Amino acid sequence: IVGVGRDITERKQMEDALRDNETKFRRMIEALPMAIGVAGAEGNIEYLNPRFIELFGYRPEELPHVNDWFQRAYPDPVYRQDMLDLWLAGVESAKQKGSDFVLNEAHITCRDGAVRIANLISALIGDKSLAIFNDITDRKRAEAELLAYRDRLEDLVEQRTAELVAAKEQAESANRAKSVFLANMSHELRTPLNAILGFTELMRRGSGLLRRDREHLDIVNRSGAHLLGLINDILDMAKIEAGRIQWEKVPLDLDVIVGEIMEMMSQRAREKGLALALERSSRVPRHIRGDETRLRQVLVNLLGNAIKFTERGTVTLRLGAGGGPDQPRLLLEVEDTGPGIAAPDRVRVFEPFVQGEQMSSQRGTGLGLAICRQFVELMGGRIGVSSELGQGSRFWIDLPVDILNGGELAGSEESPGEVLGLLPDQPEWRILIVEDQPEDALLLGRLLESVGFQVRTAANGVEAIEQYQAWHPHFVWMDRRIPVLDGVEATRRIRVLEGGGAVKIAALTASVFAEQRGEMLEAGMDDVLHKPFRSEEIFGCLERLLGVRFQRRETGPGAPAAPTAPALDRAALAALPEALRRDLADALLMLDTARIDALIRQVEALDAILGQVLRSQADDFDYAGMDEALRGMRKVAVRGLEQAERADGLRPPRLD
């Protein structure tokens, strides 16, 4: 017996190690969270790990071959063929390169019909194929949701953007509408106001006015100027809303401002039977630097309210001074004897559209005090009120001021004096007025003709061009808003005509918008004046642009005094019948105006000059002067009678 023994210990150890490694490898594969499948060289599926079965739902006996997997996992024939082509191409590439290959985002149909998305990583291990499926379904769903949310967010943003664009366009349209409205209101308000102020100024230039009529015209003119200031504030409302309103600091005469305001408000106080008083401290500076327009508006508003809500007693304006030399302050108070303001209302009285119970019976918007507070705070000051029911109210203002020094006062401009006419040795100045409002054209034309200018008018831009070509004026007053062809375009066309570059053209417009001023200057206008205009503005512009020389009334200490009303001629009065003088004296004593008027007509029939003087005094309500003259006539007559009686020895001397 021959026995051969071979030591297979190492082989057995290797086999045991292999089995042990295989067991470990299988356990590792089964524990992996990714689905894994192994197919043999013939395509038979040899292994599916538990994660594969859990993920896709197919049991191993349902997938004996790779073809069975393709049939079930990709039921759509077109998609199945695409995946099969990619698989075969990947296997061929792996054989040639010896590397694995990847199929991204394979849409796999599970046993229950659900579709999962997985990235497939394949590798060749000998003659076997290893496939690892990395499930990315949840990630792709989250990505899809994020994309959907992003798309929805983009849609929402686009929608909101469209809404904002629409809102912006609506706001811009509203602003444009407001601008158009303000422009129209500017034109419609300032145009008639131009006629009011202009014709009152023309009437004041007349020499035959009585003193009382001149005073009335002065009040109308100042009130119109104040109304113009209010209109300007209203037309600047866009700046106020935008927070861009600025206040001016210009030299002003406080005494003049207060005097004009008191004179303007005194008539309203007299109509209600109220006393209007002014108390001014000697420490109050006369010449300061400040915003005249807004200071006027605040004082007029406070005084107007006090007069409106006070039924009896006194309204007092007080001016005082405070602070030190480095920071002087102006203290203003308006006190009345009205009904007073309750404590709850005092807290809210400066709020817009708020009126106290005592004020609710009066008409008003409730905006006045709110505007006053805004203006006072804008000027760096404070405003407040103290009041008790039944005891009246006291509104106070504390404003910082800049006191003007002597140099600034000396440098202030003085009025050059009223224009009386053109100086001799000048051209016969021709001026064309382009204005569609007949009242404004008439006003400006009469003003210019009264001092010696030759004037023609045109009602629209086309007529302006025709008049320029036919008449060749030296100067053109051009309204901006005229029919057919507006003033801006008419100016452009005149500038390109023969001689059009030399003619002076100035705008005379009711517009107060800065952008329109720039447009008019850019069109070739030499200057821009606004309605309502003052005669001095018109003449000053002609002096500046055209070189016109005027004869002016002298001003200052050496100027002649204004003409006074003629006095009654005692001799003419004495020549009247005694019965007529007696009846006139009785009518004056009884203040019988109808009888006074009838008796003056009788005097006019006897002595026209004396009747005119009496008529002038009656129109001026100077009844005291007429009565004094008549009493003087009676006194002369009595003395004459006494002298005669003493001469006859009938009466002793009388001690007057």
Please check the confidence at residue 568 and state whether its pLDDT lies above 70: no
CB atoms within 10 A of CB 419: 23
Domain 419-552 architecture? 3-Layer(aba) Sandwich (3.40)
Here the tokens at position 469 are: 């070509």
Same topology, domains 14-135 and 419-552? Answer is no
In angstroms, the CA 356 to CA 341 distance is 7
Please check the confidence at residue 79 and state whether its pLDDT lies above 80: yes
CATH number of 14-135: 3.30.450.20
Here the tokens at position 301 are: 């508003």
Least confident of 50-54, 297-301, 408-412, 627-631: 408-412
In angstroms, the CA 218 to CA 400 distance is 31
What average pLDDT does range 556-571 have in this prediction? 52
In angstroms, the CA 515 to CA 176 distance is 13
pLDDT score, position 361: 45
Mean pLDDT, the chain, as a whole number? 80
pLDDT score, position 645: 43
What average pLDDT does range 185-195 have in this prediction? 67
* Half-sphere exposure at residue 654, Cβ-oriented, CA atoms within 13 angstroms: 13
- Tokens 């023969």 belong to residue: 498
Please check the confidence at residue 35 and state whether its pLDDT lies above 60: yes
In angstroms, the CA 22 to CA 38 distance is 14
Amino acid at 508: L
pLDDT band per the 50, 70, 90 thresholds, residue 624 = low
pLDDT band per the 50, 70, 90 thresholds, residue 555 = low
What average pLDDT does range 414-426 have in this prediction? 80
Q: What is the pLDDT of residues 258-271, one digit of tens each?
A: 988 888 888 888 88
Q: What is the pLDDT of residues 279-300, one digit of tens each?
A: 988 888 888 888 888 888 889 8
Of 260, 228, 293, give the one whose Cα is nearest residue 532: 228
Map out the domains of the chain as residue ranges: 14-135, 251-293+300-411, 419-552, 570-647
Please check the confidence at residue 186 and state whether its pLDDT lies above 90: no
pLDDT band per the 50, 70, 90 thresholds, residue 354 = low
Please check the confidence at residue 621 and state whether its pLDDT lies above 80: no
Taking the CA atoms of the chain, what radius of gyration do you get in angstroms? 51
Q: Is 185 exposed, middle or buried (0-12, 13-18, 19+ CB in 10 A)?
A: middle
pLDDT band per the 50, 70, 90 thresholds, residue 464 = very high
Please check the confidence at residue 327 and state whether its pLDDT lies above 50: yes
Strand 430-434 versus strand 475-478 pairing type: parallel
What average pLDDT does range 225-239 have in this prediction? 60
In angstroms, the CA 12 to CA 161 distance is 79
β-bridge partners, 117: 107
pLDDT score, position 653: 38
| Cβ(453)–Cβ(475) below 8 Å | no
pLDDT score, position 384: 92
pLDDT score, position 364: 42
pLDDT score, position 513: 58
pLDDT score, position 490: 94
What average pLDDT does range 454-478 have in this prediction? 94
Here the tokens at position 22 are: 């295989």
Least confident of 137-151, 163-177, 456-470, 600-614: 163-177
In angstroms, the CA 567 to CA 630 distance is 13
Asked if the 251-293+300-411 domain carries CATH number 3.40.1010.20, the reply is no
DSSP string, 213-271: HHHHHHHHHHHHHHHHHHHHHHHTHHHHHTT------EEEEHHHHHHHHHHHHHHHHHH
Please check the confidence at residue 468 and state whether its pLDDT lies above 90: yes
Strand 314-323 versus strand 328-336 pairing type: antiparallel
Please check the confidence at residue 184 and state whether its pLDDT lies above 90: no
Please check the confidence at residue 236 and state whether its pLDDT lies above 70: no
Residues of the chain by 3-state class (helix, strand, coil), percent to 5 = 50, 20, 30
- Tokens 């800049």 belong to residue: 402
pLDDT score, position 652: 39
In angstroms, the CA 403 to CA 322 distance is 12
Amino acid at 461: G
| Pairwise pLDDT comparison (244 vs 536), residue with the higher score | 536
CB atoms within 10 A of CB 591: 10
What does the buried/exposed string (b/e) look like for 334-363 if buried means 16 or more CB atoms within 10 Å of the residue's CB? Answer: bbbbbbbbeeebbeebbeeeebbebbeeee
pLDDT score, position 405: 67
What average pLDDT does range 566-586 have in this prediction? 78
Q: What is the pLDDT of residues 87-108, one digit of tens each?
A: 888 888 888 887 788 888 899 9
Spatial CB neighbours of 213, under 8 Å, sequence gap ≥ 6 = 619
In angstroms, the CA 533 to CA 85 distance is 93
Share of the chain above pLDDT 90, in %: 22
* Edge-to-edge strands, sheet with 287-290: 250-253, 287-290, 402-403
Least confident of 13-22, 99-108, 439-448: 13-22
Please check the confidence at residue 397 and state whether its pLDDT lies above 90: yes
* Half-sphere exposure at residue 428, Cβ-oriented, CA atoms within 13 angstroms: 4
| Pairwise pLDDT comparison (388 vs 238), residue with the higher score | 388
